[in-house]
Amino acid sequence: MFGNIGFSEFLLIAVIALIVFGPAKLPEIGRSLGRAIREFKQGAQNLLNDEPEQAQRKDVTPSQHEAAPEPPQPVEKPAASASESAPSGDATPPRAAADSRSNPRRLPD
């Protein structure tokens, strides 16, 4: 508390207080100062402890016994006919035919 005040400075303050207030009033002033500091500390402690309560958090994770919904299945597109996949006059074969030729389990045409 008095980290920067040395013994000589403290003694000078005590002598000035003794001269100003007198020997009869000094103990009374010390008691009232001690009470004021104690009340200040208690008030500060109560202020820190009077924080509002935080709202209760609700657990929203599904429990293990509840069945989780199945993920949606991918939708397959219908196979395109040869006339839709390749424009007329184009000599390239449809993609499905090219893929089937590279299949090793398929017999050659």
Residue range 57-108, pLDDT digits in tens:
777 777 776 555 676 777 777 665 555 554 555 555 555 555 555 667 777 7
3-state secondary structure the chain: CCCCCCHHHHHHHHHHHHHHHCCCCHHHHHHHHHHHHHHHHHHHHHHHHCCCCCCCCCCCCCCCCCCCCCCCCCCCCCCCCHHHHCCCCCCCCCHHHHHHHCCCCCCCC
Verdict on whether the full-model pTM lies above 0.85:
no
